[in-house]
Amino acid sequence: MCMRDGAGASLRRIVAVALLSAAVPMMAVAAPNLGRPAMPEEVARWDLSVFPDGQGLPQGRGSVADGAAIYREHCVSCHGAGGRGASAEELAGASHRLTDPSPDKTIGSYWPYATTLFDYVRRSMPLNAPASLDDNQVYAVTAYLLHLNGILPEGSEIGRDSLPRVVMPNRQGFIAVDGGR
Amino acid sequence: MTVATTDRSLPKFAEVAGGGLLDRRLFLKQGALFGLATLVAQTAGAEAGQRPAWMRVPGAPLSNYGQPSPNEAEVIRWVAANPDAPGNGISWTPLHRLAGTITPSGLHFERHHNGVPQIDPALHQLLIHGLVERPLIFGLPQLHRYPMISRQCFIECGGNSNAGWHEEPMQAVAGNLHGLVSCSEWTGIPVRMLLEEAGIKAAAGWVIAEGADAAAMNVSIPLAKLLDDGILALFQNGEKLRPENGYPMRLVLPGYEGVLNVKWLRRLQLAAQPLMARNETAKYTELQPDGKARQFTFVMEAKSVVTHPSPGYRLEGAGYYQISGLAWSGRGKIVTVEVSADGGHSWAPSELQEPVLSKSFTRFRVPWQWNGQPCVIKSRAVDDTGYRQPERRILVAERGRNGYFHYNAIVAWAVDADGGLHHVYA
């Protein structure tokens, strides 16, 4: 039933494919073709991905100050004051380097991309009410967490254009093993 | 607990390695003689000829869905979760209480990032988009009409066995140390078929996969892997996926780290680059002694572990036992598993249960005549790429102790003079 195995294809099958192709344009392979086309607005609603180059980031912005307030309300109970960790992991305040026997893997010491913060907070956090923060609030929390890690100054803000430009301290800290490109 | 029967009246057999290891095919060659002797010894104590109580009353009625015997109530997953977030945690397959190669679906290990979603299959859909000619949406009624394949393979969490990185050997039963791995027969649609229907653009090299759980858990997967042997699984061990294993649909990527086998799949986005998601940067990466971290370590390397006997069991005394365990490799087939009963001074080949399947559990067994003295049991696997499961000291010398993930060193169980077992580094 696979029509990609050209070596064994009979003339009759080739003719059948040609006829099928003529009748249904764009059909590249032999398969049931039961999916329905996704409309661009559907894809936009469905798509949560944020890439390191900023692709997928929504319009919006948020400040370190606003992020601090949101953190106190939604994050501190699990991640602790100043991101020092509680029932959930520490996010800031690394005191041991990555080469130490007991390294601290915080956002500032370990995470290679700042865009990951937006992608992760928007899709997964807070754990007890995911998707409850709007995009500006996610930008604000992102800004605050970058500030806690000494990457953004107090009084600053972050948005769609500036977030992908943040260079994380451990940007060069990873070696791709099976997925190198 | 008793691991096997003993019968001290049995003849002495020739050792093939130190510590009493016997020819792996000893009893396969000699037929039923040994088995018969054991059976007689076991039943001699019963009240011979008496009908037991359950032969004097009608049995239980038929049932709609069979359950394990109430006598097996201890054969359960061991749950370890964050008390403040009970859906964020793991549960371990009790490998030390199972036989064969298939993990019962209800005992398949779990790792959830924010609980098991209660998905209405009538509302669940899969979107394929990104670098494709035609973004497509599939519902379950359509997907169930597609040509399907079945494949047996293991799924192993990248964090399985990670107690091995600890400075001192953690004392726990084998399943609670190594049971974040399970093996099922998965049935579903080759992902390649669905991606080709959408029309793969030349620039695509990665696929971002996302689940419909509360974490909307996402990872980046090389497109080549999905085209090679990726399955959109709808069935596990013959029945629809269990909710905790991705109902109504999940990715199965044979041999690849568990987190990439995205459960509750809702979206596949073709892209030129990986997304650098939290679970492929902050987590599921392995920090090395030089401060650099291994990333995109997808393949689960060869591993083996002796499940019988193992900590928690107590040998009844000197005499015959069967050593048995599981081996698997994310690169292909297991070709040999050697067993040592003298701490690695000498090794004997084990018998591998056929069929040996690629990227699947392989059961190994070897007969053993324990002399009653303290000893150390180990196993080491080799796969068909020639990769050999490493000794712990070699793995730790290479990776340090802060990698957290991808620990696959040789496991050692010490047998004490009283027949008890415990975990050792040896």
Whole-model pTM: value is 0.91
- Rounded Cα distance between A58 and A121, Å, is 14
- Residue at which a domain ends, from B257, B276, B295: B276
pLDDT at res. B28: 78
Q: What is the pLDDT along chain A (181 residues), one digit of tens a residue?
A: 333 433 333 434 433 444 444 444 444 557 899 999 999 999 999 999 999 999 999 999 999 999 999 999 999 999 999 999 999 999 999 999 999 999 999 999 999 999 999 999 999 999 999 999 999 999 999 999 999 999 999 999 999 999 999 999 999 999 999 875 4
Domain of B202 in residue numbering reads as 110-276
Residue B11's pLDDT is 57
Q: Which tokens is B1 given? A: 């607990």
Same domain for B258 and B127: yes
3-state secondary structure of B63: coil
Q: Which run of H or of E encompasses B332? A: none
- Looking up tokens 């040592």, which residue turns up? B340
Give the A window 16-45 contacts with B, CB below 8 Å. Answer: 26, 28-29, 31-38, 42-43
Contact A61, A139 (CB under 8 A): yes
Which of these, B235, B223, B240, B207, lies nearest to B148 by C-alpha position? Answer: B235
Q: Is B52 exposed, middle or buried (0-12, 13-18, 19+ CB in 10 A)?
A: exposed
CB–CB of B293 and A110 under 8 A? Answer: yes
Q: What is the pLDDT of residue B340?
A: 98
Cis before residue A58, ω within 30 degrees of 0? no
Reported ipTM exceeds the 0.95 cut:
no
> Which residues on chain A are in Cβ contact (under 8 Å) with B198?
35
In a domain, B353, yes or no: yes
3-state secondary structure of B132: strand
Residue A178 is encoded by which pair of tokens? 């099976």
- Residue whose structure tokens are 């948020």: A62
Are residue B338 and residue B228 in the same domain, yes or no?
no
Mean pLDDT split into 10-residue runs, chain B, 426 residues: 44 86 84 41 63 96 97 97 89 98 98 97 98 98 98 98 97 98 98 98 98 98 98 98 98 98 98 98 97 98 98 97 98 98 98 98 98 98 98 97 97 98 97
Query: From CA B305, how far away is CA B181, in angstroms rounded?
Result: 11
Task: State the CATH number of the domain containing residue B397.
Answer: 2.60.40.650
Give the tokens for residue A94: 């690394």
Restricting to B residues 145-164, those with a Cβ less than 8 Å away from any Cβ of A are 145-147
What is the number of other CB atoms lying within 10 angstroms of the CB of residue B83?
Answer: 7
3-state secondary structure (DSSP) of residue B229: helix
Could you tell me if B167 lies within 8 Å of chain A, comparing CB atoms? Answer: no
Pair B159, B235 in one domain: yes
- The nearest alpha carbon in chain B to A90 belongs to B282
What domains are defined for chain A?
A: 6-35 (no CATH), 61-165 (1.10.760.10)
Q: What is the total count of domains within chain B? A: 2
Place of tokens 């040996």: B356
User: In this structure, are B337 and B250 located in the same domain?
Assistant: no
B49, with CB counted inside 10 A (0-12, 13-18, 19+), is exposed
Contact A87 B82 (CB under 8 A): yes
Residues B312 and B255 in one domain: no
State whether B333 and B404 are in the same domain: yes
For residue B239, the SS3 value is: strand
Q: What tokens does A92 get?
A: 């800031």
| A120 class by beta-carbon count within 10 Å (0-12 exposed, 13-18 middle, 19+ buried) | buried
Residue B68's Cα: distance from chain center in Å? Answer: 20
